[in-house]
Structure 1
C-alpha cells in the first residue's frame, strides 16, 4: 500500500481493533486494561523489529503503518487530551465539586507545586543539568492520571465525595502542571531569570483565563443546544465540537490553559447543559463520551507501548540512577500529599476525612499518563531545547510512566488487600447470606408450580427443590451463626437499603420524563450525601444527611443576596421553583419506599428494626411535607400549575404506552401510530419547560398589602415605594439578631415572623412591622426575629427612616406608638 491516508487508516484502526479486543481478555484475567494494552504495544514493537524490510503484504503494511504512526505531542495534546479531559469532567457532580473546591485546589495547586520543587530539588543534586530543567521535569512527573483510582473507588463503594476529590484534584492538577511547565519552558528557552511575582501573575492569568474561556464557550453552545432540543445527534455532536474548540481556542489562539477551558466547558455541560439537552440526548451523550474516552485511552496506551522501547533503548547507564531518584522523590512527594496534606485538610474542616487505606490507594495508584507524555514529547520535538535537555526529559518521563504502568497499576490490588478494602464487612456478609436465603426460599416455593405448568414430573421437581431448600437452610444456619451484629449495625444496613431504593425511584422518575435532568442531578446528589453519612455514622448520619438535604444551599443563598442587594429576582425564582419540584419528587420517592421497600426488608432485618426504620421514614416524610407546604402556602397558584403539569405529563406518557400496545396487537397501523405519537410529542414538548414563578416582589404590589399605607395618596405611595426595598425571607431565617445595632426596620407584606421575646414570643403577621424600636429609641436589637415560613418584607434603612416619618404624620404616630408599647412590655417583663 502506498504511503498516505490509507496507510494511516490501516495503522490507526488496526491498533484500535487490537486494543479493544484486549478488554474481554483483561476482564477474564482480571488485569488492569491500560497496563495490558501498553504491554501489547511493547510486544508489537519487539515483534516488528525482526520483520523490518520483509514484504508481508497487508501484515507488512500494518507493520509499517503502526511503526510510522508516531506518538507526538500535538497528537496527544490536540487529539487525545481534550477527549480524555472532557469525558472525565463530564461525569463529575458540579455541586459536590464546588462543595469541596478548596481542598481540591489546595491539593491540585499547592500540592503540585510542592511536589514539583521536591522532585526538582532531588534531581538537581544528582543530575548535571540546571535547576530550572530539573524543576521542569518535576512539574511533568507531578501530573497524575485518576482513571485507575477512580475506577477502584467505584468498585469498592467508596464515598462519592472521595471519588470527586480524587478526580477533581487530578484534573486541576493536570492543568496546573501544564501551566507551570509552560512558564518554566519559556524561562529555559529565553534564558530569563526566575521572578516569583511574574511567575505567579503568569500562572493566574493562564489558569483563570482558561476557566473564563471554557465558561463563555460552554454557555454559547448551551444557548445553541436549547434551540435544537430533541435532536439528540445534533446535541451530542455539538458537545464534541465544544470539547475540541474550547481547548484549541484557549491553548492556541488565546494562550491560556486549554485543559482548564475544556474542564470548565464539560462541567457547564454536565450541570447547566442538562436542562437544555433532552433526556434521550443526554443518554446518547453519556454513551458517546464513554466510547470516545475508551477509544482515546486504548489508543494512547498502545502507542505508548510502541514508543517506549525505542526511547528507552537510548537510556544512558547514569540515567538509571537519576530515574531511581526521580521515582523515590516523586513517591515521597505524593506520600506527603496523601498522608500529611489530606489529613490536615480534614482537620481544618474544609474537606472530608479519608481513611489510611483509601489514602494508600490514592498514593500508590497515582499513575502517570497522557499529560506527562505530551509535555515530555513537546520538549523532545522542540529543537530550541538543547539536545541533552531533550534526551534527559523524554527518557526519564518515559521510564517513569512505564514504571507506574507496569509496577504501580498491577499492584494496587495488593494495597487494597493489605488494608482489607477488598473484603466484605461483617454486616455485608450477613446481609448477603440472608438475601440468598430469602431468594432461594422463594425459588423453592415457586418451582413446583412452574414444573406443573411445564408438565415436568413431580419427582424431578422435588429433587431440584430439595437442592434449593438444603442450600437455603445452610445459608440460614450461617446467617444465624454470624448474626452478631448490634442494633445500630442492623439499622445502618436498613438505612443504606432505603436510600438505595430512594435513589432508584429518582432514576425512574427521570427515565419516565417526570422530572428535569437538573432536578434529577440535585436529588441523586442528596441521596448520595445521605448514603455516605449513613454509612459513616448510622442513624445520626441519616438524620444529619436528610436535614442537610432540606437546607438552603449556597446557590439559594446567593440568589437571596442578589435579590436583596440588587433587586434582581430571576435567579431566586428559579431556585425556588427547583426547590419546589425537588421537594415534591423527594416526598413521592419516600412514599414509594414506604409502600414497597419496607416490606422487602423485613426478612433481612427483622420486625423490630423494620419498625424503627418505618418511624425514621415517617419523620423524614413529615419534614419534607413541612418544607413543601411552606412553599405551597406562599405560592398556591404556582403549586397548582406544577401539579397540573405533572398530571398532564403522566397522562401523555400513559396514552403513548396505550397506543404502543394497540400497535403491538395490530389494532392500529404504523402510520397511524406515528401520527398519534407526533401529536403527543408536541403536547409533551409544550410541557417540558418549567413554569415561571412570579415572586411578586415589586414595591407596588407589596405596599398595597400593608394597611398602614392604604390611606396615602398616590404621590405619597410612590414616594414610599422609593424608600422601601422588597425582599423575601425564608423559613427559620433570623431576620433580626438580638444585640445587633439597628440598621433598619421591616414591614410584613405577607407571611409572619416571630419575635422571640420572653416570656411569650410575639407573632407579627401581614400588615405588621418590626425593628422600629432600635430606630426610635436608638438602642441595640432587643430580640431575635425569625421567619415563620416564606415572608415578603419591605425593608426600610435607617437613612430613609426619618424621611418616611416626615412623609405622613399618621404613619409616624403609629410607628412611635407601637415602639413605646413594645418598650413598656419589655420593661414590665
Structure 2
C-alpha cells in the first residue's frame, strides 16, 4: 500500500513520461529492424505509416465529430493518438504467433514510423487547439512535412555520424551502450527544442542508421549485447508507462458514461474502416504502379485486425488528459476514449490474433521451408538412438532404459518424434533454390565469424557482410540469376573508385585511389577465403540434406565465383606483387593471433591457468594484435620519373631530357576491362604503356600491346577520329601525352618524333592492307 501510494503521489507528469520513456521505446524498436529488409518494403511501410496515420486521424475525427460532445480538433487529436501502433507489443505478438517474415517486416516498420508520424500530428493539432489563432490546414500540413522530413534527415545523418565514431571505443560494450543511450536522448532534445523538427522522427531515423551501420562496425557479440541492453531499457520504459497509466485509468474510467461506450464502439469501427481504406484502397495503387509487391488477402486481414496499441498511445492519452492548455471536456473525452481503445486492442485484438492466423492458415514457414525443416529434423534425430546407446554403455545404464528412451527417437522399432520428409517430396528446382538460400545464409555466418575473431579488419568485414546480404537478397528474390548478379558486384569498379581515379588523373592526388584499391584487394582476398569455407560446407553438408543434384549445382555456382575472384586477385598480384604478399602475411598473422587467443581462453576455461595468468597473457597479446591489424600502404607506382624510365624509347634519353619529357606526361592507372580509348571519338592524347598490356580491337584481328608500346598517336597526327577501341587487359600503368604537348615533344626530341612517325606509318599501312 505504501509503495502504491508513493507511486501515485510521484510527481512525474504525463509529458515527462514522453520525454523520459519515448526515446527508449522508439530507439529500441528501430534498432531491431533489419534495414535491408525494410528498404525492400519502404514504399508500403511509408504508405501505411505516414499516409495511413493521416487517413486514420482524419477518418476518426470526421466520423466522431457528429456524435462527440467536443469539436472537430479534439476528435482529430483522438484520431492521432489511436493511430499509433505500439512497436514493442506488435513485435512481441507477431514473434509469439510465428508470423511470416514479410508480414512482420511490414507491421514492424509501420509501427515504428506511424508512432513518429502520429506524435508529430498530435503535437501539431494540440498546438493549434491551444493557440488563439484560427486553425489553418495548409500551415499545419507544411509544418508537418517540415518536421517529419527534417526529423528523418537530421536523425539519419546524426546516426551515421555515431556509427563512424563507435570504432574509437575499442569494442568496449559498456561504452557503446552508454554512447547510444546518451545519443538517443540528445538527438531527441536537440531536434525537438533547438532545430525545430520532430524529435520523435529523428530518434527513429537515427536508430535505423545505427542499425544499418552498427551491424557492420560492431562485432556480432557486441551488437548482441547492445541490442539486449536496449531491449531491457524498452521493457522498463513500457512497463513503467503501463504502471503509471494503470494508476490513472480508474480515475479516468470513473468519469465515463454509457454514451462514452457508444462513442468507443464508433471509434473502433472508424479505426478499422480507416485501416481498410489504406489496405484495400490505397495500397493496390502502389502495386498497380509496380512500386510495391502485392499483399495477399490473408495478410491484409491480419494487418487490418492486428494493430496493437500500447505504451505510446497510453502516454499520449495521459499527456492530453493533463494538458491544461486544452479545455477540461476535451481532456476527459480524449483520456477516456484513448484508454478504452488501448484496452480493447489488448483484451480483444491480441488474444484473437493466433486463432485468426490459424483460421487463415498463415504460417511463418513456406511449404519448401517446412519440407526442408522436416528433412533436417529427420536426419538429426536418426542418429540419436545410436548416440543414446553409446552414452548408456559408457555410464552402465540398463539396456531396457536405453531402449525405452531410444524408442522416442525412432530407435528399436519406435516411431520418431519428427516426421521425416523424403528428398523426393521437393522438386529438384525447389531443392536447388532452398540450397542456395542456405549457402547465402552460411556465407554471412562465415563473414561474421571472421569479423568476431578479428581475422579481417572492421572495414573489410563491413564490405563482406554487405556483399553477403546482397547475395542472400538476390537469391531470395530472383534465385540463381539474382545470386549471380549480386556475386558479380564485388568485381565491379564502383562509383567511389571511378571518382578517385578521376581525381588522380585530373589533379594528381593518388591517396584516395590507393586506399580504395587497397580496400578492393583486401576485400577480394578475404572473399576468396570465405568462399573456400562455403565450398567446403557445400561439399560436406548440402548433399546430406538436399541430395547430390543441388550439391553439384551449387558447386558450379561457387566454382564460377571462385574462378572470377581468383582472376581478379591474380590481376592485382601481377601489378602489385609486394603488396599482395604483405596482405597475405597480415591475414596469416591475424589468424595466428586469433588461434593464440582461443588457446588461452580454452586453457582458462579448463582451469589449467588461473585468472591472473590469463589476464597477463591477454595484456601481452594485445600490442601484437594491434600491430598486425595495421594494413600496409599500397604504393601505386605512379611516379612520373620512374614510369618514364621504364618506357624503352625514353630510357635512351639523358637524365635532363627524361626530366623534361616527364613534365609533359601525366601518369594514369587503367583497370582491367577499362576502355581507355573509344572508337569514333576525337583524340586528345596518346598513351605510353609503362607496365601492363592492352588490346587494340581492330578488324579482323585484335592487336596486343605491352610495356614500352604506345597507342592513340594516329588520331593526333592526322587530326582524325579514333579508329579502334583500346581495352586494358589488366592493371596498366600509363603515361598520357596531351595533344597540345605532342608538338613540344617533337620540337625538343626529334629522335622520338621520328620513331613515333615511323610506327604510325607502319600501322597505317597495315590497316590499309589488312
Class of the TM-score when normalised by the shorter of the 2 chains: 0.7 to 0.9
Aligned position for 2:272: 331
Matches within 5 A, 1:743-782: 747=687, 759-760=700-701, 768=710
Tell me: CA distance 1:433–1:202, structure 2 relative to 1, closer, same or farther (3 Å): closer
Q: CA deviation at 1:156?
A: 8.4
1:236-276: per-residue Cα shift (whole Å, max 9, x none)? Answer: 22222112122122223333221233234434444555677
Which of 431, 435, 445 is residue 490 of structure 1 equivalent to?
A: 431
**Are the counterparts in 2 of residues 205 and 256 from structure 1 also a CA contact under 8 Å?**
yes
**2:384 paired with 1:449:** no
Aligned position for 1:677: 618
Matches within 5 A, 1:258-269: 258-269=199-210
Distance between the aligned counterparts of 2:502 and 2:185, measured in 1? Answer: 36
Aligned position for 2:32: 91
Which of 648, 652, 667 is residue 589 of structure 2 equivalent to?
A: 648
**Are the counterparts in 1 of residues 89 and 310 from structure 2 also a CA contact under 8 Å?**
no
**2:533 paired with 1:587:** no
Distance between the aligned counterparts of 1:341 and 1:426, measured in 2? Answer: 30
**2:355 paired with 1:414:** yes
Which of 208, 228, 232 is residue 173 of structure 2 equivalent to?
A: 232
Aligned position for 1:46: none
Aligned position for 1:613: 554
Distance between the aligned counterparts of 1:698 and 1:341, measured in 2? Answer: 61
Distance between the aligned counterparts of 1:758 and 1:290, measured in 2? Answer: 67
**2:308 paired with 1:364:** no
Q: CA deviation at 1:652?
A: 1.8
Distance between the aligned counterparts of 2:98 and 2:577, measured in 1? Answer: 42
Give the match's secondary structure for 2:255. coil
1:376-405: per-residue Cα shift (whole Å, max 9, x none)? Answer: 444333222233333343333333333333
Aligned position for 1:515: 456
Tell me: CA distance 1:161–1:575, structure 2 relative to 1, closer, same or farther (3 Å): farther
Q: CA deviation at 1:601?
A: 3.5
Matches within 5 A, 1:572-721: 576-660=517-601, 670-691=611-632, 693=634, 714=659, 717-718=662-663, 721=666
1:734-755: per-residue Cα shift (whole Å, max 9, x none)? Answer: 677778x769668577656666
Distance between the aligned counterparts of 1:822 and 1:196, measured in 2? Answer: 75
**Are the counterparts in 2 of residues 107 and 341 from structure 1 also a CA contact under 8 Å?**
no
Tell me: CA distance 1:423–1:765, structure 2 relative to 1, closer, same or farther (3 Å): same
Distance between the aligned counterparts of 2:76 and 2:768, measured in 1? Answer: 72
Which of 232, 238, 253 is residue 297 of structure 1 equivalent to?
A: 238
Aligned position for 1:178: 119
Tell me: CA distance 1:697–1:367, structure 2 relative to 1, closer, same or farther (3 Å): farther
Tell me: CA distance 1:225–1:512, structure 2 relative to 1, closer, same or farther (3 Å): closer
Distance between the aligned counterparts of 1:574 and 1:92, measured in 2? Answer: 32
Give the match's secondary structure for 2:383. helix
| TM-score of the aligned structures, taking structure 1 as reference length | 0.76
1:503-553: per-residue Cα shift (whole Å, max 9, x none)? Answer: 332332233222345544554454444445444554445444544566567
**Are the counterparts in 2 of residues 120 and 134 from structure 1 also a CA contact under 8 Å?**
yes
Tell me: CA distance 1:674–1:109, structure 2 relative to 1, closer, same or farther (3 Å): same
**Are the counterparts in 1 of residues 99 and 362 from structure 2 also a CA contact under 8 Å?**
no
Give the match's secondary structure for 1:237. helix
**Are the counterparts in 2 of residues 85 and 263 from structure 1 also a CA contact under 8 Å?**
yes
Distance between the aligned counterparts of 2:768 and 2:692, measured in 1? Answer: 28
Matches within 5 A, 1:441-590: 441-458=382-399, 461=402, 465=406, 468-470=409-411, 474=415, 479=420, 483-517=424-458, 519-535=460-476, 537-547=478-488, 576-590=517-531
Distance between the aligned counterparts of 1:549 and 1:687, measured in 2? Answer: 25
Tell me: CA distance 1:482–1:215, structure 2 relative to 1, closer, same or farther (3 Å): closer
Q: CA deviation at 1:717?
A: 4.3
1:674-712: per-residue Cα shift (whole Å, max 9, x none)? Answer: 322211012113334555555667888878877788877
Aligned residues: 760
Tell me: CA distance 1:467–1:391, structure 2 relative to 1, closer, same or farther (3 Å): closer
Give the match's secondary structure for 2:324. coil
Distance between the aligned counterparts of 1:322 and 1:339, measured in 2? Answer: 25
Which of 185, 206, 222 is residue 244 of structure 1 equivalent to?
A: 185
**Are the counterparts in 2 of residues 230 and 280 from structure 1 also a CA contact under 8 Å?**
no
**2:341 paired with 1:403:** no
Distance between the aligned counterparts of 1:102 and 1:702, measured in 2? Answer: 53
- Which stretch of the first structure deviates more once superposed, 86-95 or 671-680? 86-95
Give the match's secondary structure for 1:379. helix
**Are the counterparts in 1 of residues 219 and 452 from structure 2 also a CA contact under 8 Å?**
no
**Are the counterparts in 2 of residues 232 and 278 from structure 1 also a CA contact under 8 Å?**
no
Gaps of 5+ in 1: 1-59
Distance between the aligned counterparts of 1:269 and 1:768, measured in 2? Answer: 51
Q: CA deviation at 1:597?
A: 4.6
Distance between the aligned counterparts of 2:327 and 2:646, measured in 1? Answer: 79
Which of 10, 14, 19 is residue 78 of structure 1 equivalent to?
A: 19
Cα RMSD between the aligned structures?
A: 4.7
Aligned position for 2:327: 386
Tell me: CA distance 1:615–1:124, structure 2 relative to 1, closer, same or farther (3 Å): same
